[in-house]
Amino acid sequence: MRPLLVIALLLVSAFATAQTDEAKLTTTLKEFHQALVTKNTVSINQQTDKALSYGHSNGWVETKKELIEHLENGYMEYNSFREDSIKVEVNGNVAHARFIADINATMSGKEFNFQLRVLEVWVKKGKRWVLFARQAVRK
């Protein structure tokens, strides 16, 4: 009887941890998107991997350095960023998040509205999730 109780507790604990990781990642990705809107480059720097590949729906891909530079110099401005239908899948220290995004952005002084399907790949480093890759396509 005792071994069954131990196994049951381990399974419940593993399930609870997975739920916690999914919830933490969902919160982190929302915080990251709001950091894009507020141009919080300190937060963006902490929430992204040094090898970041940030793909846009037009095929343009930014590195971490470029993403931060483009926000700082005003080349790219996120006016609003809203996520819908977020689905997170965690597999150990790697996870992917898929969602629909409504984004209003200004690039080189021209304003755009986008409805996108987005895939983000996140990696857990220590207790934090950091964005490793992102790709978007037009909805």
Per residue in 1-49, pLDDT (tens digit) is 565 555 555 545 555 445 588 999 999 999 999 999 999 999 999 999 9
* Cβ within 8 Å of residue 38, ≥6 positions away: none
d(CA 69, CA 75): 8
Q: Where are the domains of the chain?
A: 2-138
Q: Is the confidence at residue 138, as pLDDT, over 60?
A: yes
Strand ranges for 27-93 from DSSP E = 48-55, 61-62, 76-91
Confidence (pLDDT) at 1: 58
Q: Structurally, what CATH architecture does the domain formed by 2-138 represent?
A: Roll (3.10)
Distances from the Cα of 18 to the Cα of 11, 91, 119, 131, angstroms: 11, 9, 20, 18
Strands 48-55 and 128-138: parallel
